[in-house]
A and B are shown apart, each in its own frame.
Chain A
Amino acid sequence: MSELSISELSKELRGAIESLETKGNLDEVGIVLRVGDGVAWIHGLRSAGYSEVIEIETEDGITEAFALNLLEDEIGAVLLGEDSTVKAGQTVRLKGSVLSVPVGPELLGRVVNPLGQPLDGGPAIKTKQQGLVERNAPGVMDRKSVHEPLMTGIVAIDAMFPIGRGQRELIIGDRQTGKTAIAIDTMINQAKQDTGVINVYVAIGQKSSKVARLVERLKQEGVMEQTIIVATSPSDPASLLYLAPYAATAMGEYFRDNSKHALMIYDDLTKHAVAYRQMSLLLRRPPGREAYPGDVFYLHSRLLERSAKLSDALGAGSLTALPIIETQAGDISAYIPTNVISITDGQIFLETDLFYQGIRPAISAGLSVSRVGGAAQTGAVKSVSSHLKLGLSQFRELASFTQFGSDLDDATKKQIERGQRLTELLKQHQYQPMAIWQQVVSIASVTNGYFDGVAVAKIKDAQSATLSKIWKDHKKDMETLETGAKPTEEILKTIETVAKAAAKGFEA
């Protein structure tokens, strides 16, 4: 609507007046006893169920809440909005349903809050379906094993810790180590490689400025049309932060259940646990370790179990999850990190030391793992990456010997030099995910020794020269590689010639 149509407006107003129910019903009611810290204590409503939505009639309209504490004398309900309008003595009615959010393709390209209300200034979200916020995960027989790759576009991950569709891979690291950057690059790659995977990014208590910048970047890269952003700021009530990942998962499940593929990014679950702790303590539930409530494991396990690869009978859709956890001082044996590590199918561990050494993405090849591994790796990348992981692990063992320089035997020196080149190869700029053919060519060039003569500092230049040359001269072969099939002898020979020729220009 790009004009102010008065007739439309008056039609809507007439409709509102007509639909105004003139009769009331004898409804079950309760009254608000006291309100504070986002929790309303209610007397009455004896038939309210756990997690049921109740409506508090305030002067400014209806404020919704959901009942979490069902005590003998009163109900503790967590408010889903501001508690400034709720007063003691106000009437409370049952809505008659549990929490649900609008789901459907109408959400694509929008920024919403966990209740489905738009935050991007656009029109209200109208969908045909509503999805339950709390839902059971698919059972064992409803699933299929993970076998399709989810390309992140980051060479280090796709080569050594490949992620499959339906897998949960944790991204864990200290603050400012590039956790969100990995998630963003993965989202951009889905658009760049046209994989058809829908992205759902959940910002749990992230600064609004950060989310705004993210939206801008996604729009720039043309990713926004296949992304849904569920955003909560640190100033939102803890109940919204608690609900955000569940509501977003409900939106992602719509695509999973309709034979499509979706990617969930939970940024980050540490803030989620903290919000839940706040809610639990205000509901007077007994605190446990680190003051977290006793069911903080269940909080995350029921969330992440909903990410799955469905069987062919149910449409073979998938929901992949990339939860993010922030550690303090690299302590991955704290309470929440260990909980989530035991739930997920692997982790990508980011180290501050590597980050400051200039190795970005700062992925620790030793501590990161993907429990699905080769089953979900593209055949092309799989064929060239076996030596990559081995070379890096050997290099790590010998890393302390690099200071000895010329006092080493030739074999050790060779391993160290190869390792240095591999490390240099895995460095990647942000917002530049790489296609399958680019990854195969780059890895093959270094692991087969074509770049052994190139100075370590010039590896990236040699890589880009090789890639542009090979794309120019052998486009068809590269397009064959892009399909993911194992490269033929011919293609490998082509890579060898082009790489060696390009390497000549960057010799040490």
Chain B
Amino acid sequence: MNFLTTLANAGEATAEPAQEGIFSALGIDLQLLIVQIVAFLILVWLLGKFVYPLLMKSVDERQKNIEEAAKAAKQAQESAAESEAETAELLATARKEAAEIVATAKTEAADIASASEEKARTSAEKIVADAHAQVAKDIEKARRELHDETLELIALATEKIVRKKLDKKADEALIVEALKEAK
């Protein structure tokens, strides 16, 4: 401060006579003004060196944060949209597969239905064929029984007749013949 006042006094002493008239008419103290200007310049230089960068840095930082936040928000929005599309795709695939399975099941069911229909038809035909076969069998059986019954009757008739007709002489003739043929 002493230096400042000395400087101010020196300045005052040299510049005083020339400028006395303008500045005193304006009411501006020239020496004080120069000191104030110097002080202001020093202040500006100090601010500029220490305070201004810090300030700017914090402002920059805040701006960056804001920018980043905005970017993140945008990204989130994009990915949300993407996963929505994916879900829709999966659903579509699942629906398609389900439809396929149902179609296979329907085919299988149709196959089973037609197979059982075929089976029913075949067994109906078989029943008819079996009935025919049974009738044929019954006739065959009746035929065989008739055959056997007739044999019995023949034997019975023969016995009755031969018993009556065969006398001693004829019998002996037959016996001799039989002996000849016997082995």
Q: CB–CB under 8 A between A and B in the complex?
A: yes
| Known interface pairs A23-B178, A25-B182, A465-B108; A1-B154 also in contact (CB < 8 Å) | no
**A/B interface sample: 21 pairs, CB < 8 A:** A2-B136, A4-B146, A9-B147, A13-B151, A13-B154, A17-B154, A22-B178, A22-B181, A23-B178, A25-B182, A26-B182, A26-B183, A121-B137, A122-B137, A122-B140, A220-B123, A464-B108, A465-B104, A504-B97, A504-B101, A505-B104
Residue-wise interface mask of B (117-154) relative to A, using a CB-CB cutoff of 8 A (1 in contact, 0 not): 00000010010001000011101111100110011001
**CB-nearest residue of chain B relative to A219?**
B126
Kindly state whether residue A429 has any CB partner on chain B within 8 Å.
no
**How many angstroms between the C-alpha atoms of A461 and B181 in the bound complex?**
80
Q: A13-B147, A23-B178, A501-B100 are in contact. List 13 more A-B contacts (CB 8 A).
A: A1-B143, A2-B135, A4-B139, A4-B143, A4-B146, A9-B147, A13-B150, A23-B181, A26-B183, A219-B130, A465-B104, A468-B107, A504-B101
What is B's interface to A at a CB cutoff of 8 Å? 97, 100-101, 104-105, 107-108, 111, 123, 126, 130, 135-137, 139-143, 146-147, 150-151, 154, 178, 181-183
Task: Collect the chain B residues with CB atoms within 8 Å of residue A121's CB.
Answer: 137, 141
Contacts of A18 in B (CB 8 A): none
**Contact yes or no, A1 B140, CB < 8 A:** yes
B104 CB to closest chain A CB (Å) equals 6
A121 and B183 alpha carbons, distance in the complex (Å): 40
Residues of B within 8 A of A501 (CB): 100
A225 CB, nearest partner CB in chain B, Å: 13
Contact partners of B141 in chain A: CB under 8 A: 121
Are the CB atoms of A505 and B154 closer together than 8 Å?
A: no
Are A468 and B183 in touch, CB under 8 angstroms? no
Given the complex of chains A and B, what is the CA–CA distance between A121 and B108 in angstroms? 42
Contacts of A469 in B (CB 8 A): 104, 107
Cβ-closest 7 pairs across A and B: A505-B101, A23-B181, A25-B183, A468-B108, A121-B137, A2-B136, A23-B178
State the CA gap A85–B106 with chains docked (Å). Answer: 66
> A121: nearest residue on chain B (CB-CB)?
B137
Within 8 A of B (CB), among A1-18: 1-4, 9, 12-13, 16-17
Are B150's CB and A468's CB within 8 A?
no
Q: Which residues of A are found within 8 Å of B143, using beta-carbon distances?
A: 1, 4, 9
| Across-interface contacts of B178 in A (CB, < 8 A) | 22-24
Q: Measured between C-beta atoms, what is the minimum distance from B129 to chain A in Å?
A: 10
A502 beta carbon closer than 8 Å to chain B:
yes
Instruction: Answer yes or no: A123 CB below 8 A from chain B CBs.
Output: yes
Give, as a whole number of angstroms, the nearest-CB distance from A226 to chain B. 17
By a beta-carbon cutoff of 8 Å, the part of chain A in contact with chain B is 1-4, 9, 12-13, 16-17, 22-26, 121-123, 219-220, 464-465, 468-469, 472, 501-502, 504-505
Please state if B126 and A220 are interface contacts (CB–CB under 8 Å).
yes
**Looking across the interface, which residue of chain A has its beta carbon closest to that of B129?**
A219
Main DSSP-derived SS at the B contact region: helix
**How many Å lie between the Cα of A130 and that of B59 in the bound state?**
119
Q: How far, in angstroms, from A322 to B114 measured CA to CA in the complex?
A: 35
Q: How far is the CA of A7 from the CA of B143 in the complex (A)?
A: 12
A215 to chain B, nearest CB (A): 11
A219 to chain B, nearest CB (A): 7
CA distance in complex: A397, B151 (Å): 73
With contact pairs A13-B154, A505-B101 given, residues A468 and B139 touching in the complex (Cβ less than 8 Å): no
A454 CB, min distance to chain B CBs, angstroms: 13
Evaluate contact between A2 and B139: CB separation under 8 angstroms.
yes
Closest B residue, CB atoms, query A222: B122
Provide the bound-state CA to CA distance between A87 and B135, in Å: 39
Minimum Cβ distance to chain B for residue A178 (Å): 24
Q: Chain B contacts of A25 at CB under 8 A?
A: 182-183
Could you tell me the distance between the alpha carbons of A324 and B33 in the complex, rounded to whole angstroms? Answer: 133
> Given B101, B111, B135, B140, which contacts A123 in the complex, CB threshold below 8 Å?
B140
Q: How far is the CA of A94 from the CA of B107 in the complex (A)?
A: 69
Which residues of the partner chain A approach B140 to less than 8 Å between Cβ atoms? 1, 122-123
Contacting residues, chain B, for A468 (C-beta < 8 A): 104, 107-108, 111
Q: Nearest Cβ distance between residue B183 and chain A, in whole angstroms?
A: 5
Report Cα–Cα, A6/B81, bound state, in Å. Answer: 98
A16 CA / B151 CA spacing, docked (Å): 9
Distance A4 CA – B135 CA, assembled complex (angstroms): 12
- B40 CB, nearest partner CB in chain A, Å: 82
What B residues does A123 contact at CB under 8 A? 140
CB distance from B95 to the nearest CB of A (A): 13
With A13-B150, A23-B178, A23-B181 known as contacts, the answer to whether A1 contacts B126 (CB < 8 A) is no
Q: From residue B134, how far is it (CB to closest CB) to chain A in Å?
A: 8
What's the Cα separation between A168 and B156 when bound, in Å?
A: 55
Picked from B101, B154, B182, the residue with its CB within 8 Å of the CB of A24 is B182
Residue in A closest to B141 when the chains form the complex, CB atoms: A121
B residues less than 8 Å from A23 (CB atoms): 178, 181-182
* Chain B residues closer than 8 Å to A464, beta-carbon distance: 108
Q: How far is the CB of B82 from chain A (nearest CB, A)?
A: 26
B101's nearest neighbour on chain A, judged by CB, is A505
A26 cross-chain contacts in B, Cβ below 8 A = 182-183
B150: min CB distance to chain A, Å: 6
Q: Specify the chain B residue showing the minimal Cβ separation from A26.
A: B182
**Docked pose: A429 CA to B16 CA in angstroms:** 130
Contact B154 A465 (CB under 8 A): no
CA distance A9 to B151 in the complex (A): 11
Q: What is the bound-complex CA distance between A196 and B111, given in angstroms?
A: 28
Query: A465 — which chain B residues lie within 8 A by C-beta?
Result: 104-105, 108
Contact B151 A502 (CB under 8 A): no
Closest-CB distance, B153 to chain A (whole angstroms) = 10
Question: Within the complex, which residue of B107, B136, B181 is in contact with A472, where a contact is CB–CB below 8 Å?
Answer: B107
With both chains docked as a complex, state the minimum distance between the C-beta of A22 and any C-beta of chain B, in angstroms.
7
Contact A502 B104 (CB under 8 A): yes
Query: Shortest Cβ distance from A192 into chain B, in angstroms?
Result: 13
